[in-house]
Structure 1
Amino acid sequence: MAEPAELKQRIRTDLTAAMKSRDQLVTGTLRMALAAITNEEVAGTSAKELTDPDVVRVLTREVKKRNESAEVYAGAGRSELADNERAEAAILERYLPQQLTDAELTDLVDGAVAEVAGGGEQPGMKQMGQVIKAANDKAAGRADGKRIADAVKQRLSG
């Protein structure tokens, strides 16, 4: 069985501290994050305990939602709501692994291409899905899926 998520426990501990210090923004954001984690745990046919990589995936999705909402609010001239969404995203990003630099991402994609090639010929655009899957597995939440897909596409077409 997978070991329970230490990250989830850290969020709970930080939520308690935020509640004691009456920090409403952090309290609300961490409550929403824990609700998203719980929803993921009970989704599907049977309940399961999420591992740290699973929690990272949920938090990454939540950060992406906040950033997209901030863009929509900013575009609609609602800067106070956009600022709030960005602040929530920044709080959640504290729990995510350090993001890869462009050079690290390029190295990771090169490794994924070599893995898919398996000593054979260079993969082409037909194998793009396989290369993206391998790169996502290697990235383990340290790079956005779109960023990985763009890097793979550039590598395979160039």
Structure 2
Amino acid sequence: MSLVEQLKDQMKEAMRAKDKARLGTIRMALSAVKQIEVDTRETLTDEQTIAVLTKMVKQRRDSIAQYESAGRPELAASEAEEIQVIETFLPSPLTEEEVAAIIDEAIAQVGASSMADMGKVMGALKSKVQGRADMGAIGSQIRAKLN
């Protein structure tokens, strides 16, 4: 079952359970996927759908930081609830050890030896860790290993 089909099934379950918060978040995710499908005129793969959901989580984390700095904890809590719903559809996150092993493998695979090769390493890693780890944190770990 594809990720979009899982989203649709969960949307139906949320409707039956009358869970408005979950239903709204799932509808928002499906809308974002559908918008990209309409724009590109092609059906998204599970990997591309994960990229869309990951982007949505990142946007919500940014919103939480802004709401908290503006003194709006109720809006930050709403965003946090949306993150929890979206994360149920993302693959399980990688541990620190798994991330380090994947980074070491990618550095060896690309033959990176300096910071000039960082883009190659990031390119090799992106498909492996998409939606399972924070790319910003991975970038800083790669910098530390290449310096």
TM-score by length of 2: 0.95
**Where does residue 134 of structure 1 map in the other structure?**
124
Alignment of 1:22-61 (within 5 A): 22-44=18-40, 47-61=41-55
Q: Are 1:69 and 2:63 counterparts?
A: yes
Q: Are 1:96 and 2:90 counterparts?
A: yes
CA distance in structure 2 between the partners assigned to 1:50 and 1:154 by the alignment? 35
Q: Are 1:123 and 2:117 counterparts?
A: no
CA distance in structure 2 between the partners assigned to 1:91 and 1:137 by the alignment? 23
TM-score by length of 1: 0.89
**1:41/1:48 contact within 8 Å kept:** yes
**Where does residue 15 of structure 1 map in the other structure?**
11
Q: How big is each residue's C-alpha offset from its partner over 1:80-106, in whole Å with a ceiling of 9 and x where there is no partner?
A: 000000000010000001111111111
Displacement of 1:147 in angstroms is: 1.8
> Percent identity between the aligned chains?
37
Q: How big is each residue's C-alpha offset from its partner over 1:4-56, in whole Å with a ceiling of 9 and x where there is no partner?
A: x7110010011011112111100110010000001111224xx1111111110
Unaligned runs of 5+ in 1: none
Displacement of 1:137 in angstroms is: 2.4
Give aligned pairs, total.
147
* Letter in structure 1 aligned against 2:14: A
**1:37/1:58 contact within 8 Å kept:** yes
RMSD: 1.2
**1:33/1:59 contact within 8 Å kept:** yes
CA distance in structure 2 between the partners assigned to 1:148 and 1:85 by the alignment? 24
Query: Which consecutive segments of 4 or more residues in structure 1 shift more than 2 A?
Result: none
Unaligned runs of 5+ in 2: none
Once structures 1 and 2 are overlaid, which stretch shifts more, 81-90 or 16-25?
A: 16-25
Displacement of 1:151 in angstroms is: 1.4
